[in-house]
Structure 1
Amino acid sequence: MVRPRKRYLNFENMIGLAKTMNRKVVAEPVETEAHGTTLIKMGCHLGQGYFIANPIEHQRIPE
């Protein structure tokens, strides 16, 4: 089991690496408001998950 602090550091390191490489990070899964808030504070501004929206059928995605 990964402890919460170690998991936090892993995310922090991945976001930092992406910034260094001038890349965007998409966090998944964002399941709660707390997840989203924490990720924003860490510098990740894109995410997907049930807190943001439920999955939709591909036919309903605008082109």
Structure 2
Amino acid sequence: MNYLKFTQYVYLVFGAYFVYDGIAKLNDPSLGGTPWLSFIIAAVAVFMFFFRRKFAKKFEDRNKKS
């Protein structure tokens, strides 16, 4: 289960990609789509990073006590 410590960083990668995508859509309207949807997805990805990080820490602390 050591890989679970690293999977939370995938959310940061997705968040960075969607921020880049949103900025690209703002600067070039011919790309189509709404840039705000990309920013919302990026915000959810960053939230999920912190949520998973807190949950993993809580899970680790629980295993140390028992």
Normalized against structure 2, the TM-score is what? 0.34
Task: Determine which structure has more spread, i.e. the larger CA radius of gyration.
Answer: 2
Higher relative contact order (Cα pairs below 8 Å, separated by 6+ residues): 2
Higher strand residue share? 1
